[in-house]
Structure 1
């Protein structure tokens, strides 16, 4: 059966309300923006998202967030998204903040069939001891806090047990892909994309360049097609800049 879908809307059409989503990208680098925009055009809501962050205001996952269609986010940081911070602090959104390397490994482990692993990251902090606010009340008090996690000692050092992540769907962006789903990511877009793809039970990839099998050198494949279920050829995308800082022309000449 062909993995090729004509449009992003067709590729995400069966994602239901309440689905969990592993989403690639870091800030605005390598985000599956067309897949997210197509999902935003649908009626699905109440999503649980696993992603390094949650886009920015009005772009990427920030679109779904702004429409209040995300109920829970597992991420590494709030970033530049003011609406993300507002919803979290006002009690409208449940947020599990996780060390970035731990989040990456949780996705990779989920895709590899590993249910949990031990890591030193977060030992001796609320990450392992519990008490991190997951959801606030409207008055600012904590409505739901993280539970404590198992700690074990190996070779004289303490480690915390972290459970892996699997999601109903993965949304990723790649520079190049063939019709069998083998993907190549461009530079910084390598970030969370292959890990999110592995964690999703159904992986949907948007690719800028679509080629026939054999046109990608096997040694250059970053993610094998066995992890990819659907492919949408979106062509070259406009690259958004998360935060631009420039000097005045006079200062630049000086």
Structure 2
């Protein structure tokens, strides 16, 4: 496969962009659409003190839950953690700080980060202390709204069914979920893909994420990446 844009690479190379203490945004819904090989590589590198941004905490051994359950994150911004009881225990034990954001609000905050908007206004969660907290309130025509700040990350990781060498992405049905938004909001966006096709094979109408948002493409091969640190 030709690599004219220099975006197609491997796990060893992209993991150079991952460090302790960084903010990572991830696509996926309950693990569906979360890049499995990149998650395994993060675990193998034993990253620590991470801030994670995504829809949920996955399951203990599925998706981002594998990272959360190992205590690799200090902070999580998500819509819920109910599918991962280990995340709940870490939170109640004071080992994981969780900022809850309603799912639609979370998606809009990520989208805002991707398009360069500083914040969004919403009345969702006004009467919920877990959501409203000490957030700023803005009045429009005497109606109060929460100011929900935009979300971005140093690295965004997404999972797609197909990519071409420029990084145009096609997702598989419901595995699309938050991936297109997450792909927009990272300083560096890494796409793990099931198939890489020649430039021009993808029809314009089927492309969901334009390659301009994607910095690196990693083939998903489902192997143990331990060799990268040997």
Query: Normalised by the size of structure 2, how large is the TM-score?
Result: 0.89
Which residue is 1:242 aligned to? none
**What is the 5 A alignment of 1:65-144?**
65-127=68-130, 129-130=132-133
Work out which of the two has the higher radius of gyration on C-alpha atoms and give 1 or 2: 1
How far apart, in 2, do the equivalents of 1:236 and 1:15 lie?
20
Residue 45 of structure 1: SS of its match in structure 2?
A: coil
1:58 is aligned, of 38, 61, 66, to 61
Residue 9 of structure 1: SS of its match in structure 2?
A: helix
What RMSD in Å do the two structures reach over aligned CA positions? 1.7
**1:42-98 CA distance string (max 9 Å, x none):** 132111000111221122222222221111000000132111111011111111011
Which residue is 1:176 aligned to? 162
How far apart, in 2, do the equivalents of 1:14 and 1:222 lie?
25
1:32 is aligned, of 28, 35, 47, to 35
1:202 aligns with 2:205: no
How far apart, in 2, do the equivalents of 1:34 and 1:43 lie?
14
8 A Cα contact 2:25 2:155, kept in partner: yes
Task: Note the C-alpha offset of 1:154.
Answer: 2.8
* Uncovered stretches (5+) of structure 1, i.e. residues with no partner: 131-147, 238-254
Distance 1:115 1:50, change over 3 A: same
Number of equivalenced pairs: 219
8 A Cα contact 2:101 2:131, kept in partner: no
1:2 aligns with 2:11: no
Query: Normalised by the size of structure 1, how large is the TM-score?
Result: 0.81
**What is the 5 A alignment of 1:207-226?**
207-226=193-212
Q: Which segments of structure 1 move beyond 3 Å, counting only runs of 4 or more?
A: none
